[in-house]
Structure 1
Amino acid sequence: MQNMRIVKKPGYAVDSVDRALQLILLLQETEWLRIGQAAKALGVAPSTAHRLMSTLVYRGFALQDDQHRYCAGPALHPEPAVGAERALVAAARPHLEALAARVQETVNLVERVGATARYLATVEGPQLLRVGNRAGTILPAHVSAAGKAILSTLPDEMVSAVCARQPPHGGSALTAAEMQELQAELRDVRSRGFAVNLGRTEPDLAAVGAPLASGNRPAALALSISAPLSRARQIQDPAAVEALLTCCAALRLELETQGRL
């Protein structure tokens, strides 16, 4: 009979590491997890659970939706798609860094996943008062600037089909009146080439977003510039918008050359 080795908790275990690993296991076992649930399961204060979860989000082990719930992140899914996503982010990062340096604000790479916008990568701006790292955040596509930019590349009937579905993370589907308002806004986005978010996702945040569109094909990705609401006018300035559009065109061309679009 083969001897079985019993694994016990080491006496030198680092509590914070142990709790982080327990949290990873919880994320793998549940579809969505709230901070209160995590704190109760770990036997720690909510503030401690929040710090641990924030670190997991930063490292790609967790994703956060707009209702402050968390699910397992891409780092917990060792699939070919994860490698492709990392390669995409690596290709995009120099462009994000150049744009952030030029406009002096935070820049994001965003993809549409169903009716949501998922932030893949962020390069923070250099200013003291700035928007922080949003990588891993999930927002409704119809309210974020990047999400609306992507939706604007879809036909009206497809926008209705996408946004009429119940969001996978909870919340209400758009009403008929809200859908009409969104369609009208998307027509404006198509005509000017970029979308705007003024306090829709967070009261003190402004953003402009543009799609990585190629010809008449719908876009799956977008870039956005995020700033405090007090600097909303600056990021809508023609020079900032032109920098955003130029960056989108350059990144799109590189991704097409690499076969990633």
Structure 2
Amino acid sequence: MQNKPTYSIESVDHALRLAVLLQQEGPLGVSDAAARLGVARSTAHRLLAMLVYRSFAEQRDDRRYAAGPVLRSWSGGDSVTHLREIALPHLRALVRRTGETANLMVLRGTQVQMVATAECDQALRVGDREGRMLPAHLASGGRALLARLDRAEIDARYGDEDRTGVAREVVERTIRQTRRRGFAINDQSTEAGLTAIGQAVGDPAQGLPAALSVAMPTARYHRRMLPDLAAALDEAARAVAQDLHDDS
């Protein structure tokens, strides 16, 4: 199970997190960046200046910073920001209900990108995954999203095996299993020692394709937990979808 390295370099971590924020949430001022990272304003300014220098960011006329050319092709813009704001209270409620870490992710081609994490407070836990990219056919939320897509969408993503490196029959089998269950399971498919249950939020064909997951150390997982975890996820996903609808 991959958590934050004990040897991580703090300045590098801050710069990477800041790049993710610009990519996912749109323009930030220096004060906003400092608050999100929990650093001094001067530190945030230096980090932003380096991102600009390497084309990960650019400064706008209003003096705020936006995703630069390196990040722009993956930018989720305002839609991800709005989705994250709507989903975070429900992620925290999932943590309280299940006692495990909860994640929000969006589908990007044949991968999913983690856009928000609410960590549980257990000593042994799955840590913050915000910003990570995972193969959609392996991640629990990705599997849940693929199971909601029609054949044309699957063909568009996985029609060229030479390009994707993923066998079509593997994707089809995963989709069948997920549809049969009504939710998705990732039992150490993306990381050794990590098990996650996923559920799509609404209809991926209508709006931003998003999913929720509950992730835990495999040592704490047992199949008898599935009904309760699936019910909690289904309730949270429906609540997020309803809030998005009401706020549109």
Structure-2-length-normalised TM-score: 0.70
Q: Deviations over 1:158-189 (max 9, x none)?
A: 2243134579xxx85113xxx21321221121
Aligned ranges for residues 142-181 of structure 1 at < 5 Å? 142-165=137-160, 173-175=165-167, 179-181=168-170
**1:131/1:227 contact within 8 Å kept:** yes
Cα distance in 2 for partners of 1:212, 1:82 equals 19
CA drift of 1:155 comes to 1.7
Pair 1:198–1:81, CA change in 2 (3 A)? closer
1:237 is the counterpart of 2:226: yes
**Does the C-alpha gap of structure 1 residues 101 and 58 become closer, same or farther in structure 2, counting only changes over 3 Å?**
farther
Q: Give the whole-Å Cα distance in 2 for the aligned partners of 1:185 and 1:236.
A: 21
Change (3 A) 1:99 1:191: same
1:257 aligns with 2:216: no
1:52 paired residue number: 11
Letter in 2 for 1:106: T
Cα distance, 1:150 vs structure 2: 0.6
Farther off after superposition, 85-94 or 51-60 = 51-60
Residue 182 (structure 2) aligned to one of 190, 193, 198: 193
- CA shift at 1:58, angstroms? 3.2
- Find the structure with the greater CA-based Rg: 1
Q: Provide the rounded CA distance (Å) in 2 between the counterparts of 1:120 and 1:216.
A: 19
Are 1:209 and 2:232 counterparts? Answer: no
Instruction: Map Cα deviations across residues 113-143 of structure 1 (whole Å, 9 max, x no partner).
Output: 1111000000001211000000000111111
Q: Which moved more, 1:54-63 or 1:242-251?
A: 54-63
8 Å contact from structure 1 (residues 208, 236) kept in 2: no
Return the TM-score normalized by structure 1. 0.67
Task: Please list, as runs of the form range in 1=range in 2, the aligned pairs for 1:1-261 lying within 5 A after superposition.
Answer: 50-59=9-18, 60=20, 72=56, 76-77=66-67, 82-165=77-160, 173-175=165-167, 179-214=168-203, 220-233=209-222, 236-259=225-248
Residue 202 to residue 246, structure 1, CA distance change in 2 (3 Å): same
| Alpha-carbon distance in 2 for matches of 1:257, 1:93 | 16
SS at match of 1:142: coil
Gaps of 5+ in 2: 1-6, 24-54, 58-64
Q: Note the alpha carbon deviations across 1:10-62, whole angstroms, 9 max, x for none.
A: xxxxxxxxxxxxxxxxxxxxxxxxxxxxxxxxxxxxx66x5433223334358
Question: 1:217 and 1:202 mapped to 2: Cα distance?
Answer: 30
C-alpha distance in 2, partners of 1:83/1:225?
A: 25
Q: Secondary structure of the residue that 1:181 maps to in structure 2?
A: helix
Mean Cα displacement is larger for which, 78-87 or 182-191?
78-87
Name the CA distance, whole Å, in 1 between partners of 2:157 and 2:217: 29
Provide the residue aligned with 1:12 in structure 2: none
Tell me the percent identity: 27
Counterpart of 1:36 in structure 2 is none
Residues 57 and 135 in structure 1, CA contact (< 8 A), matched pair in contact too: no
Change (3 A) 1:140 1:103: same
| Aligned counterpart, 1:28 | none
What is the deviation of 1:250?
0.6
Shift of 1:98: 0.4
Q: Which runs of 4+ in 1 moved over 6 A?
A: none
**3-state SS of 1:237 partner:** helix
- Asked if structure 1 preserves the Cα contact closer than 8 Å seen for 2:79 and 2:208, the reply is no
Q: CA RMSD in A?
A: 3.1
